[in-house]
Amino acid sequence: MTAPHPDDFTLLVLLEGEMSEMDAARLKRHLSTCPACTSAFREIEKLDRTLKSTLPTLEEALAEPELPEGDPFRCRPDCTRLGRRPPIAGDDAIHEVFAASRDAAEVKSRLLGAAAAPEEDLREALADLDLLALRDRYGLGYALDDALYNMVEGPARWARFGRASADTVLAARAEGRALDAPAERAFPLDDLLGLSLLVQGTACNWTGEFLRGGRDLRRAYGAFARGSVSERRLASVELVEAQRRAFLDRAEEALHLADRARGTFQALGLEDEAAKAGGAHATALSYLDRDEEAIAEFRALLPVLSSHERWNTYVSTLNGIGACLLRLGARKLRREYARALRLVNREARPAVHSFIRANLARTLYQGGRFAEAARAFGAAATLFATQGATADELQMSLFQVEALSHPAPRGAARRFEDVGEVLRASNAVDSDILRSLEAALAGDIPDVDLVATLRSRAERQIATRLRRAV
236-278, pLDDT tens digit by residue? 999 999 999 998 989 999 999 999 999 999 999 999 999 999 9
Q: What is the mean pLDDT of residues 373-381?
A: 89
Length of the chain: 470
Rounded CA-CA distance 218/222 in Å is 6
Angle in degrees, 0-180, between the axes of helices 448-466 and 431-441, rounded to the nearest 10: 150
Render pLDDT for 120-165 as a digit per residue (tens, 0 to 9).
Answer: 999 999 999 999 999 999 999 999 999 998 887 788 899 999 999 9
For residue 330, CA distances in Å to 106, 322, 333, 341, 358 come to 49, 9, 7, 19, 20
Mean pLDDT of 45-57: 70
pLDDT in tens, 312-346: 788 788 878 887 877 776 556 656 666 665 665 55
Q: Are 341 and 357 in contact (CB under 8 A)?
A: yes
pTM of the model: 0.68
For residues 465 and 429, give the distance between their C-alpha atoms in angstroms, rounded to a whole number: 8
Give me the long-range contacts of 173-181 (CB less than 8 A, separation at least 24).
177/132, 178/131, 178/132, 181/131, 181/132
**3-state SS, one letter per residue, for 247-283:** HCCCHHHHHHHHHHHHHHHHHCCCHHHHHHHHHHHHH
**Residue range 293-309, pLDDT digits in tens:** 999 999 999 999 989 98
Cβ atoms of residues 183 and 177 within 8 Å: no
Report angle CA 263, 264, 265 to the nearest 5 degrees. 95
Query: Which pLDDT score is estimated for 335?
Result: 62
pLDDT at residue 318, rounded to an integer: 83
Whether pLDDT at 417 is above 80 = yes
- 8 A C-beta contact, residue 431 and residue 424: yes
Q: What is the mean pLDDT of residues 425-441?
A: 89
